Every structure is written in structure tokens, then in C-alpha cells.
Amino acid sequence: MRRRLLAPALLLLATALGCTEAGTAAPAPGPAALPAAEPDVRPLGRIIPLPASVEPGGAPYTLTAATRIGVPAGAPAVRAVAERLAGLLRPATGFRLPVVTDPAADLVLRLDPSAGALGDEGYALRSAPGRLTLTARTPAGLFRGVQTVRQQLPAAIERTTVQRRAWRIAGGTVTDTPRFPYRGAMLDVARHFFTVEEVKAYIDRIALYKYNVLHLHLTDDQGWRIAIRSRPELTSTGAATEVGGGPGGFYTQEQYKEIVRYAAAAHIEVVPEIDMPGHTHAALVSYPELNCDGRRPEPYTGIEVGFSTLCAEKEVTYAFAEDVLREIAALTPGRYVHIGGDEAKSTSPADYRTLMDRVQPLVTRHGKQVMAWHQLTGDATPVPGALIQYWGLDRTPAEEKEEVARAARAGAGIVVSPADRAYLDMKYDADTPLGLKWAGTVSVRRAYDWDPGTHLPGVPESAVRGVEAPLWTETLSTPEQLDTMAFPRLPGLAELGWSPAAGRDWDTYRIRLGEQAHRFDALGIGWYRSPEVPWPAR
Ligand code: ACM
């Protein structure tokens, strides 16, 4: 594939910024500002995540009041993507943008089942005067391509009122497939509860950057957030608390299904997490018999970890796990149920092994694959098909990393979310008011400038299924606070999951990221103005 990593206009800009050629910054370039306004036509491929292959050329396509979006007849999944595109484009353009089955439409979405090279999520975008064509093998691929169309248009396209301006997409071809099949974002709704609408807003944000997994951390010491019909106390008692003593909350099963449906419409799979055997205090408060001593503890609203455990020697523990995992599996159209397994500091190694040996088959018996934090590889043995989520740090002992490598050699897939790179709740620097810093501070560059394929010694890229960006909420209780921590690191982690390693470098990324500020603003996202990035002049 041909690749033009630095389109001509970007080259001009890079020169203006003191960069001499692709990826070569002038000595200590320091933060510089971008022009206050966006270019009228964004150079093809200057988006996040960076496309795999871009061939700019020819005059642009123009979206007009006469534009019609063409779909094949009898393809409801394609029509759904087209309606979604139309819904994105109508408010700011004010155009009607009907979705039609007329082959003469100027903006065309088409499926090509023979386009094997595009895989499950790839797409090809061809832009020329009078015709914009998006081709994919699957509706998911078309959906990812729609995010490219969106980002190629001026950021004003994201506004909810009519903007008077030209809507052009640079001419040429983008052919794009993801590097990794798993590109996840995790939201901790246990430490602080977030409503269905707030979770949907987070889904909208991750969809724009081509994420395909939303991992929901549904249970922890401070609260239980999902209704389990066979265990009503989990929500009548266990959901009524959160960090800091707020009211907590939970999703009914209908509400949870609504989240899953909303995510599915964005071709995003929801991975529910029921954290066990530690991080279970809310369950232990709800059902006292789950405690080894049978006594109900006081609810917990602090932010310590590692003090709670399920009781390995009691059969009621396994009946409880069966009830919960059966209902969670039934609520999950996706492949995975995450069973936590992290920070079980109050569980003896023998009990941990007993518990995880008995709990994992409950997941597989209900037709799902186990996902777990990487402690499962050290203190127990992952079942076949398990997906292991690595959250260690650079300073994590080599033996612990080797346990993950051993699991990978035995066939486990690995998702990398190193806490000192990918945790969106870590402070950007010492002055960040929100967030934690037990894994160190994580600047925008630090979150971007690493390679998931080679990060873990002894884990070959072939074992790496992808990347995840967790957002823990011990210190975050509002959607605005989620935004300041996620933006601008969330787009960079999306690029690590999607884009070829060879095309990525910080010096050109920071310019593309700076340009995203227009889009953050148009979307009403309150973002952190990192001094590492050349943001548009104010
Ligand atoms: C974790 O951060 N305890 C997975």
C-alpha cells in the first residue's frame, strides 16, 4: 500500500512550526500554536486515528443541499449506518440528506462482501467531485468509515445549529483497517455512578475515534450498579452508596440493555465486569452470608483497595457467583464477561486459586469467554479462550510480566492497558486537580508515545488483541470531569489501537491532536489544554 503520511498542506504547516520533514522536529520545538481557524478543506487522512493508507489526489467532493445518501436495497444494517451519517450531518448543514436506494446518489455507502482485505472493520473512502463512496465488507466497517467522513469535514459539522459554510472533503482515496481487533475504553460506574444518558454520551465520544469496546466496571467495594433479579439486595442495599457518600445508583436490566443497544448501534461491544473475589464489599454488605464470618460489614465510601474478599470455603459464594454470572451472560450479546481478579489482597493465594478455578467455568458454561485482569495469570490459571488485561507499570516486577507472557504462550489473548500509560484517571502532571497518581503522572505524550505490540517483554504482537483506556472514577463524579481526564488522551489511545505503528510519531500526532480542539469545542467537550500540544491560537 502506498502511504502519504504527511500531506502537502501538513508539510507547509510542519515547516511553519519548525519541523523540517515528516516526523523530524526541529530541536526543542516547544509548544507552538496552530492557526486559529481550520483549513477550508482538511488534507485527506489528517484525522485521528491516522488511516492505514492515504492517496490524496484530485478535486474535493462537496456536500450540498441536493446531496442524497445512497444505500443498497434490502440492507437494513447499511441503511442504519446511512441514517446515522445523515443524522450527524443534518443539524450543522441544514440539508435534507435523504437516504435513498437510487444508484445515482452522490454520497454512497456500499457493502462489498468480496473486499476481504478490508476485514471486519475496514473501509475504503473515495472522494471526488460529485461522488463520495464508502465501501466496506461489513456494516461495522461502514460505521468506522463514517467517522472518517465526519472528521474530514470541518469541525463545525459537529454543531447542532446551521452553520453557513462550504462542506468539502479533499479528493483521493483512504483505505483503512485497524491494527488490533480490540480497542476498548473502560468506564468505572462503581466508584461514582453515571446515568444511562451519561454513559451514552461517553459512547458517542469513543465512537468518533473508532473504539469498538466499552468495558463497564459495574461492581466494586463502594457500589453495585446492575440489577440481578435473583439477588435483589445487591441493588436495594449495595447500590445506595458511592465514593464520598453520594447517593449511588444502578441500572435496571432494561436500562442496561438500552446501553448495550446504544453501543451496538455504534458497533461497540459492551464488556460487563463483575469484579471478584476482591472489590466485593458492596456485595458483602448486601448478603452477609457471603462473609466468612457471616456478619454484615458497614458500607464503604472511601478509596482504599484490597480489603474485601469473597469466602472461598463457603458454597453460598459459588451459588452467588452462578446467579450473577448467569444473569450477566444473559444480558450480554458480546463475547466476554470480565470477572476482575485484581487486587485480591485479602484473599490467600490458595483461596484465590480455588475461587478463580470455580468461577471461570461459570462464565464459559453460560456461553461467554472469560476476561480478567492479569493477576489471573499469576495466582490462578486462565481457562482456554480467556482474554487477559494487563495493567502493570514500567516498574512492575519482571516475574509478574513473565506470568502474562507465559499465559500468552499458552494461548491467552492479551489486552494492554498499562496503568502508567493508558489509565485516563492518572493526573497529567503534578498540578492536575482531579485524578490519582499512584501509577505516576501520565502526560498526553506519555499516553501516546509507546507501542502496544511490543510493550510487554515476551508477549509477541500476535498475542496482543488490542489496547484499552480505563477511566476509574474515585475522584470523578460528573461527565465534565470525565471529559477533562479523557480529553485529550482518549484519541491517542484510539490511534495506538487502530493505526499502523510505522506511521505514528508524536511530532506529527501532536499537530493532528491540536486540530481536534475545534471538534472538541463543537461537541461541547471540556478538554485539558496540555502544554505539550500546539492548540489553535485563541
Ligand atoms: C486495577 O487498576 N486495579 C485493575
CATH number at residue 421: 3.20.20.80
> What phi-psi label fits residue 316: left (phi over 0), alpha (psi between -120 and 50 degrees) or beta?
alpha
Closest ligand 1 atom to the C-alpha of 340?
A: 4
pLDDT at residue 379, as a whole number: 86
Residue 454 lies in a domain: yes
CATH number at residue 101: 3.30.379.10
Residue 97 lies in a domain: yes
Domain that holds residue 318: 182-523
Do 125 and 193 share a domain, yes or no? no
Give φ, ψ of 125 to 5 degrees: -120, 125
CA atoms within 13 A on the CB side of 14: 22
Residue 243 lies in a domain: yes
Do 439 and 463 share a domain, yes or no? yes
Round the CA-based radius of gyration of the chain to a whole number and report it: 24
End-of-domain residue from the set 139, 155, 176: 176
CB 51 within 8 A of CB 45: yes
Number of structural domains (the chain) is: 2
Do 89 and 202 share a domain, yes or no? no
- pLDDT, tens digit (0-9, with 9 covering 90-100), for 152-184: 999 999 999 999 999 999 999 999 999 999 999
Residue 532 lies in a domain: no
CA-CA distance, 121 to 136, in Å (whole number)?
8
In this structure, which residue's CA is closest to atom 3 in ligand 1?
342
CB 218 within 8 A of CB 225: yes
Distances (CA, A) of 530 to 71, 371, 438: 42, 34, 20
CA atoms within 13 A on the CB side of 283: 27
Do 140 and 269 share a domain, yes or no? no
pLDDT at residue 83, as a whole number: 98
Residue 350 lies in a domain: yes
Residue 2 lies in a domain: no
pLDDT at residue 234, as a whole number: 98
pLDDT at residue 32, as a whole number: 78
pLDDT at residue 538, as a whole number: 85
End-of-domain residue from the set 176, 198, 224: 176
CA-CA distance, 399 to 401, in Å (whole number)?
5
Which of 347, 390, 391 for a ligand 1 pocket mutation test, highest count of atoms within 8 Å of Cβ?
Answer: 391
In this structure, which residue's CA is closest to atom 4 in ligand 1?
342
Do 48 and 126 share a domain, yes or no? yes
In this structure, which residue's CA is closest to atom 1 in ligand 1?
342
Closest ligand 1 atom to the C-alpha of 391?
A: 4
Residue 534, all three cell numbers: 500546539
pLDDT at residue 29, as a whole number: 53
pLDDT at residue 181, as a whole number: 98
- Residue 426, classed as helix, strand or coil, is strand
How many angstroms is it from 479 CA to the middle of ligand 1? 21
CA atoms within 13 A on the CB side of 165: 18
Q: Quick one: which of 487, 496, 495 has its CA closest to 516?
A: 487
End-of-domain residue from the set 114, 147, 176: 176
Residue 16 lies in a domain: no
Do 324 and 358 share a domain, yes or no? yes
Q: Is 515 in the pocket of ligand 1 (CB under 6 A)?
A: no
In the numeric block, the cell 502508567 is attached to: 420
Do 234 and 330 share a domain, yes or no? yes
How many angstroms is it from 331 CA to the middle of ligand 1? 24
Do 251 and 129 share a domain, yes or no? no
Give φ, ψ of 158 to 5 degrees: -80, -10
Do 67 and 146 share a domain, yes or no? yes
Residue ranges in the chain modelled with pLDDT below 50 = 1-28, 30
Residues in the chain: 538
- Residue 245, classed as helix, strand or coil, is helix
Residue 6 lies in a domain: no
Do 413 and 515 share a domain, yes or no? yes
CB 155 within 8 A of CB 519: yes
How many angstroms is it from 53 CA to the middle of ligand 1? 36
- 32 exposed, middle or buried (CB, 10 Å; 0-12, 13-18, 19+)? middle
pLDDT at residue 1, as a whole number: 34
CA-CA distance, 60 to 22, in Å (whole number)?
24
Residue 42, all three cell numbers: 482538511
CB 470 within 8 A of CB 424: yes
CB 331 within 8 A of CB 253: yes
Closest ligand 1 atom to the C-alpha of 423?
A: 2
Do 255 and 348 share a domain, yes or no? yes
- pLDDT, tens digit (0-9, with 9 covering 90-100), for 293-335: 999 999 999 999 999 999 999 999 999 999 999 999 999 999 9
Do 222 and 146 share a domain, yes or no? no
In the numeric block, the cell 504462550 is attached to: 409
Query: Model-level pTM?
Result: 0.94
Give residue 197's identity as a one-letter amino acid code.
Answer: E
